[in-house]
Amino acid sequence: MGIARKLAKLDHLVRGPIAQHFPPQLTTRLYSATRSTFLEQLAKERPDVDPPLHPVQMRNLYFRNDLGNAAGFDKDGKMLPFSYSVGAGFAVVGTVLIEPHTGNKLGSLSHNPFVPLPHSRSAINSLGLPSAGVDVVVQNIQHFRHAYDPQDFPIGASVMGHPNHEGAEKIAGTVECVSKLLPHVDFVEINESCPNTEHSDDGLTERIGRIVDVRNNHTRRGKYVPIFVKLGDFGNVDETIKFYSESGIDGLAGLNTQKDYETLRKDIDPRDRDLFDHYTENHRGGVSGAPIRGRAYQQIANAAEEIKQQGSDLKLIHIGGIATPADMRQSRRLGDTVVLREWYTGMMDAIATQKLEEIYARMVR
């Protein structure tokens, strides 16, 4: 058994009592400090899995199954060999930035703040978009493709403007980032929803327009790369679907993590509440997992219905709180518009509690 599996099993035994009884500040430090080390170890695991099949075609892409990791799990493409060997249907790398970025720091420490809320099957993070930068990500993707020649396993890249850039520089950086990724990825997810950095909606039409132009120019020379926009909230779903249907993108993904702490707190198990309160008061951060499951499902269901009403060609990727085979079945019942599913918090739970060889098979079959 690899180190990551041992660490995950150990963590599974102690994370409940730690969340409940340790001082929240210490718990936050512990998990923020160990997150990267755990992922580095997990990246070395190569479970021996027959990839579970639930074939999907979306535009020109073929997916061996409809479940992949959500953005944030594999910031720089180093987890691709793991994701491929564990049986994922696809992977999303990123969020990728045009230049390297350290993200938020936990006080004077160099760690990005994050903590699990184990009794609530949730987590809260304010990593603040750490990224090795697009050039490193491109190299990692190239190495993976060369070593594994992955079949029916599309690679997506999540992209957004650099948090240290503003205005024209930010848009130009985003467009350049997409342009560098286009020859190497199969689809792009534009992150319009990250709650942990200053991120305004200003310039949305220009931003999306320029990204679509870059993609269309690329198509003339190479393959068609579908573009998705990831949202934190579908807002007025009628307007949202109308706007994006005319924007030239291929679909929408949602939801990202959520920040309305007062409402979310009701779905936080009392044993995690001290930790939740400490974290949100000191680090803000976005909540993921079970507490956002209901709203993510509802918003995707509404968007799917609206797409039908408007005769739109948009596709949807369902993200938020997906953790069980029942969640997968419920999501698939939304029909062909909801073409793919992504998970993060539920996947981390599954890694800690189940055999690595079974986590995708159980969800996909």
Ligand X SMILES: Cc1cc2nc3c(=O)[nH]c(=O)nc-3n(C[C@H](O)[C@H](O)[C@H](O)COP(=O)(O)O)c2cc1C
- Here's the x/- map for ligand X, 242-281, by CB under 6 A: it reads as --------------xx------------------------
Choice between 58 and 317, CB closer to ligand X: 317
Give one DSSP letter per residue of 12-45, joined into a string.
Answer: HHHHHHHHHHS-HHHHHHHHHHHHHHHHHHHTT-
Q: Does 63 bind ligand X (CB under 6 A)?
A: no
Q: List C-alpha distances in Å: 207 to 96, 210, 214.
A: 16, 5, 11
Site map (CB under 6 A) of ligand X, residues 71-90, x = contact: xx------------------
Q: Is 144 in the site for ligand X (CB under 6 A)?
A: no
**Which among 45-53, 214-222, 285-293, 330-338 is the span making contact with ligand X, rule CB under 6 A?**
285-293
What token pair was written down for 162?
């650099």
Q: Burial-class residue 264 by CB neighbours within 10 Å (0-12, 13-18, 19+).
A: buried
* Piece of the chain touching ligand X by CB under 6 A; list 70-78, 97-105, 300-308, 352-360: 70-78
Position among 52, 77, 113, 320 found at the interface with ligand X (CB under 6 A): 320
Which one of the spans 15-23, 26-34, 121-129, 177-185 is the region binding ligand X (CB under 6 A)? Answer: 121-129
* Nearest distance in Å: CB 230, ligand X: 5
| Identity of the residue, 129 or 132, whose beta carbon is nearer to ligand X in the bound complex | 129
Cis peptide before 95 (omega within 30 of 0): yes
Amino acid at 325: P
Select the residue interacting with ligand X from 95, 120, 280, 299 (CB under 6 A): 95
Nearer to ligand X, 194 or 361 (CB): 194
Cβ at position 57, least distance to ligand X in Å? 23
- Cβ nearer to ligand X, comparing 33 with 242: 33
Contacting ligand X within 321-350 (CB under 6 A): 321-322, 343-346
Q: Which residue is nearest to ligand X (CB)?
A: 72
The token duo for 132 is 């090795």
- Answer for the pair 141, 187: CB distance below 8 angstroms, yes or no: no
Task: Mark residues 150-179: x for contact with ligand X by CB under 6 A, - for none.
Answer: --------x---------------------
Size of the site for ligand X (CB under 6 A): 27
Residue type, 287: V
CA–CA separation, 78 vs 82, rounded Å? 8
Tokens of 340: 């793919």
Q: What is the dihedral of CA 338, 342, 119, 17, to 10 degrees?
A: 170
Q: What is the DSSP string of 50-62?
A: ------EEETTEE
Region of 52-60, 214-222, 315-323, 328-336 interacting with ligand X (CB under 6 A):
315-323
- Please, what is the Cα angle at 33 between 30 and 35, to 5 degrees? 100
Cα separation, 227 vs 328, whole angstroms: 23
Q: How far apart are CA 190 and CA 140, in angstroms?
A: 20
How would you classify residue 88: left for phi > 0, otherwise alpha for psi between -120 and 50, otherwise beta? beta
Binding segment for ligand X among 5-13, 142-150, 308-316, 320-328 (CB under 6 A)? 320-328
* Choice between 154 and 221, CB closer to ligand X: 154
Give the type of residue at 291.
P
Which residue's CB is nearer to ligand X, number 1 or number 326?
Answer: 326
State how far the Cα of 260 lies from the Cα of 239, in Å rounded to an integer. 23
| Residues at the site binding ligand X, with contacts judged by CB under 6 A | 70-72, 94-95, 114, 123, 125, 127, 129, 158, 191, 194, 230, 256-257, 288-289, 292, 319-322, 343-346
